[in-house]
Amino acid sequence: MTRPLAWLLVANLAFAAHAEAPAPAEPPKLSATEIVARNAKARGGDDAWRKTGTMVWSGHTESSTNPERKLPFLLELKRPDRTRFEIATGSGRSLRIYDGTNGWKMRPDGRGVPTVEDYTAEELDFARGAQVIDGPLMYYAARHATLKVAGLATVEGNDAYVVTAHLPSGDGGHIWVDAKTFLEIRFDRDVRTHAGRAATGSVFYRDYRDFKGLKLPVVIETGSDVAKASNKLVIEKVAINPSIDDKAFEKPPILPKHRGGIVVDTRGVAAGPPAPQTRPPQPAPPPAPPSTPQQ
């Protein structure tokens, strides 16, 4: 056999072996009910999530427009639908609070006294449909939304089931569930911009970690189809079922500006090295003067 024929034979054998190799198996066809059940199991189980009434996250935010600037945040969540989101900035702090009915936002005005404003109608509408503690799939399933499997898609290299969710109120969205882990990797929802323009808001969930048996993503990135910028939450600590006073979700009072930022101590389980405190420890108060003996 001549050398060219030998190489041709080797090439043909290699081609035949490649041709006979089985194609990658597609994920099995599952119903929406089956996907919901597997998602709940992968995230720690329905029972564990039902017993979670409060949750606190702390970490830092990042923006694609200024990736070097990292701002500490504290997010407090309380069932059924209360949220308090606080960010420490160089000029003070910003707050966004929703008590289940009303919402407020507080931000520095550059003169030392923060301003407090009510949520706009668009912001209230978004807050009413936002998941508080549960992930999007468990959230819609618990509210008896109509769930349908729209097919399969690829998200960042992962095969995923695409599940559509619709509530009678009209709220809903598309949820991408990883076909191997059954954890959410993307959620799309119709939103309105500050200018009132209709848009699609996208949320990407990455790097799931275990916190006392509950699976949570520690990187959450948000953006929209009309904005080039994206924002990212990097979660460093999580507290499960801490005590949160309902007063935390009341309209914030306007207070004079004070030095320092927020203290991000959630008494929780760290996903990595604990974040440094943004406010140095305060000195202990001086001892009280001795009381005058009674005659």
**Residue 34 C-beta-side C-alpha neighbours within 13 Å:** 7
Task: Return d(Cα 236, Cα 175) in angstroms, integer.
Answer: 25
Residue 288 pLDDT:
46
Neighbours of 155 (CB within 10 A): 14
CATH code reported for the domain at 26-270: 2.50.20.10
pLDDT of residue 190: 80
How far, in Å, CA of 143 to CA of 138, rounded?
Answer: 9
* Helix/strand/coil (H/E/C) assignment for every residue in 157-210: CEEEEEEEEECCCCCEEEEEEECCCCCEEEEEEEEECCCCCEEEEEEEEEEEEE
Tell me the C-alpha distance between 90 and 101, whole Å. 31
Domain boundaries, the chain: 26-270
pLDDT of residue 294: 42
Question: Residue 274: how many CB atoms within 10 A of its CB?
Answer: 14
Q: What is the pLDDT along the chain (295 residues), one digit of tens a residue?
A: 444 444 434 334 344 444 444 455 678 899 999 999 999 999 999 999 999 999 999 999 999 888 888 999 999 999 999 999 999 987 788 999 999 999 999 988 766 678 899 999 889 988 988 888 999 999 999 999 999 999 999 999 999 999 999 998 888 899 999 999 999 999 998 876 666 677 788 999 999 999 999 999 999 999 877 667 789 999 999 999 999 999 999 998 866 544 444 444 444 555 544 444 444 444 444 444 444 434 3
